[in-house]
Structure 1
Amino acid sequence: MKFSKLLSTSVLTLSLILAGCENSETVQTEQNETEKLTIYTTIYPLENFTKKIGGDYVDVKSIYPPNVDAHSFEPSPKDMIALAESDLFIHTGVGIDGFAEKAAESLEKESVTILEAGKGIELLESSHNEEHHHEAESTEAEEHDHEGESVEAEGTEAKAGDHEHEGESTEAEGHEHEEENLNHGNYDPHVWLDPIRSIELAKNIKNTLSELEPEHASEFESNFIQLKDELEKLDQEFKTTIENSKTNYLLVAHEAYGYWEERYGIEQIAIAGLSPTQEPSQKELQHIIEESTEHNIHYVIFEQSVSPKVAKIIQEELGAESLTLHNLESITEENIKQKDDYFSIMRMNLQTIKTALND
């Protein structure tokens, strides 16, 4: 009887030990399965593309709060702590998120991978600085030419400690505003508004995720291919809509749409330069009004995050109506509520363009 009782006790103890081991292994497996890369980005398209490519293996947030102007954003100490604790920090590397280079210097001692997603992407030279500014200073008016030269962004991907900083900091001549965060010089940084260039952004993100998590590389590749197909479809929608429009002139508050000029033949009459703070002189202002009148423009197009006073003055002078384009630098609270993404916002932009080009 004693032997039987002792045997039963031993069996029970062994069962509990085995069960404990099994539970421990299960917990460890679940932890491994749910462990994700912690990633921070700057502009919204980088956040959205990373989520689409990374899927269940990434936890992605933009460092930007809703409705922020990317040209002037500066991170808080709390933001910097979050970056230091992350696995990957993604910024464009083309100048619009100028704070990122300073952030990289601060992160040199941290094990954070830094990706300049715009590396290798051909950048367009600003037509606004070369023509509107110099044209107004000259006694002879020249024709508006939107065929800007291009340059290839030379970004790098490295650990923060190995990150080299080669950002340009040239400013437009005659520009009175200090723009410490605007390092793209005369080159247009708004590459994400071009669906085809956005494929390159997405490809660079995919490659980096695959290096960090090689065991999931095939899934990242599959997700990237799906995203690429969606971007190519969006590109075709833009081409079809703009090709079938009555005019190709847009009066915009901010020179953010050079890539639409190059790819789709749109002609932007920009009130401000690459930065919304680059306001026109009196001569430039007069030229903008004359050119808008010449092309029978009925709309002034603002952006969701900026409403320059000078653009409103021109709107009143022309008796024009206002429309809004979303620059996608950051999203709004309304976008979050509606669960918008890059594609839904870009298609809303396309509807705005269609209205402006056909009235």
Structure 2
Amino acid sequence: MRKTVGLASAILLAIGLTAGCSSTGTSADQNKKAGKLDIYTTIYPLEDFTKKIGGEYVNVKSVYPPNVEAHTYEPSSKTIAEISDSDAFIYSGVGVEGFADKAVNMLKNSDVDIVKSGEGIDLLEHGEEHGHDEEHEHGEHEHDDHDHGDHDPHVWLDPVLAQKLAENIKNELVKLQPEHKKTFTKNYESLKSDLEKLDQEFKKTVAHADKKEILVSHAAYGYWEKRYGIEQMSVLGLSPTEEPSQKDLENIVKTAKEHNMKYVIFESNVSSKISEIIKKEIGAESLTMKNLESVSEEDLKDGKDYTSIMKENLSVLKKALSNK
């Protein structure tokens, strides 16, 4: 592994360490004395899984504030300094964290373990979930051309792939504190059981649905397409900042009307004026899905976790697949 960093990155890291040492050192020392691991994570599922698996032996903090858009958010140099003083930095490594490559490069000279929780997961290429490379009737074909080679990073929305994220986190915790392997393994197995049950609920819901098509503002549900057989018609691409052409919009409206789409699914932390236009054009109602890149302060206060929020998403999906 190369241990050199660019001059700009080194300067930024030095500034961050200076700004953060007085506040982070005390916290880190306290956790070490208490026998706790200091862990930093990115997207919410990684934070939730690490807390559940690590239990009383971990202190977990996400670099993302509530309700942030993960594709574009960048942490401050102070946060990078805090991460460098921790035991591990766990990120997905599948392309959702825009800042990750730069941050990892800056952290190479520190003692923090850098963990790609998505290691070992085969990512979908945009459009691959349909099983062919032909033009799709739902108006996404121009996006497929534009996104050729782009991979869908939203692996955590698939309860089966989420088990792999959890397993990689468990392995890291065992590596850092092998004396607690039994506890970490037991906690992981409990989480895995919850994820397996969630997978079965998704299968049952889609199997009994009136239709298989959903109209979404952001193409975040490719893994649901492959695993459960639904088909997403998206207004935007894999990234919520990528907007469709006029021809795409016309095709989406046409296809939505042909399929008698009654709902447009928006996301709680993504705003899209174009999706609102589509909604009005086809006379549809709006539904809200939580993509779990981050969570709201309200959800945190209510004690919700990955499993409970995914069950809410499943209820939204059930309604979206209904003809009622």
- TM-score interval w.r.t. the shorter chain? 0.7 to 0.9
Letter aligned with residue 270 of structure 1: S
Aligned to 2:14: none
Aligned to 1:265: 229
Aligned to 1:97: 97
- CA positional deviation for 1:129: 12
One of 189, 202, 215 as aligned partner of 1:251: 215
Question: Contact 1:121–1:197 (CA<8 Å) still a contact in 2?
Answer: yes
Question: Contact 1:128–1:255 (CA<8 Å) still a contact in 2?
Answer: no
Q: How does 1:2-81 map to 2 (within 5 A)?
A: 34-81=34-81
One of 216, 219, 228 as aligned partner of 2:192: 228
- Report the CA distance shift for 1:32/1:334 in structure 2 as closer, same or farther (over 3 A): closer
Q: How does 1:114-129 map to 2 (within 5 A)?
A: 114-127=114-127
Larger Rg: 1
TM-score with structure 2 length normalisation? Answer: 0.85
Question: Contact 2:253–2:282 (CA<8 Å) still a contact in 1?
Answer: yes
Q: Distance in 2 between matches of 1:130 and 1:220?
A: 37
- CA positional deviation for 1:35: 2.0
Question: Contact 1:129–1:273 (CA<8 Å) still a contact in 2?
Answer: no
Secondary structure of the corresponding residue to residue 124 of structure 1? coil
Q: Distance in 2 between matches of 1:297 and 1:47?
A: 35
Q: Distance in 1 between matches of 2:154 and 2:31?
A: 39
Secondary structure of the corresponding residue to residue 201 of structure 2? helix
Q: Sequence identity of aligned pairs in percent?
A: 54
Q: Determine if the alignment matches structure 1 residue 329 to structure 2 residue 290.
A: no
Aligned to 1:342: 306
Q: Distance in 1 between matches of 2:129 and 2:150?
A: 7
Question: Contact 2:41–2:91 (CA<8 Å) still a contact in 1?
Answer: yes
- Report the CA distance shift for 1:312/1:145 in structure 2 as closer, same or farther (over 3 A): closer
Letter aligned with residue 43 of structure 1: I
Secondary structure of the corresponding residue to residue 217 of structure 2? strand
Q: Distance in 1 between matches of 2:130 and 2:159?
A: 26
Secondary structure of the corresponding residue to residue 271 of structure 2? coil
Question: Contact 2:217–2:235 (CA<8 Å) still a contact in 1?
Answer: yes
Letter aligned with residue 322 of structure 1: S
- CA positional deviation for 1:108: 1.7
Question: Contact 2:46–2:90 (CA<8 Å) still a contact in 1?
Answer: yes
- Report the CA distance shift for 1:242/1:145 in structure 2 as closer, same or farther (over 3 A): farther
Q: Distance in 1 between matches of 2:112 and 2:33?
A: 22
Letter aligned with residue 297 of structure 1: M
Equivalent pairs, count: 291
Question: Contact 1:128–1:273 (CA<8 Å) still a contact in 2?
Answer: no
Aligned to 2:248: 284
- CA positional deviation for 1:106: 0.8
Q: How does 1:310-321 map to 2 (within 5 A)?
A: 310-321=274-285
Aligned to 1:167: none
- CA positional deviation for 1:34: 2.4
Q: Distance in 1 between matches of 2:128 and 2:180?
A: 44
One of 257, 261, 274 as aligned partner of 1:293: 257
Secondary structure of the corresponding residue to residue 89 of structure 2? strand
Secondary structure of the corresponding residue to residue 51 of structure 2? helix
Secondary structure of the corresponding residue to residue 123 of structure 2? strand
Letter aligned with residue 39 of structure 2: I
Q: Determine if the alignment matches structure 1 residue 210 to structure 2 residue 155.
A: no
- CA positional deviation for 1:218: 1.0
- Report the CA distance shift for 1:130/1:218 in structure 2 as closer, same or farther (over 3 A): closer
Letter aligned with residue 298 of structure 1: K
- Report the CA distance shift for 1:41/1:316 in structure 2 as closer, same or farther (over 3 A): same
Q: How does 1:78-157 map to 2 (within 5 A)?
A: 78-127=78-127, 143=137
Q: Distance in 2 between matches of 1:103 and 1:185?
A: 24
Question: Contact 2:67–2:294 (CA<8 Å) still a contact in 1?
Answer: yes
Q: Cα RMSD between the aligned structures?
A: 2.5
Structure 1 unaligned spans of 5+: 1-29, 136-140, 147-170, 176-183
Letter aligned with residue 110 of structure 1: S
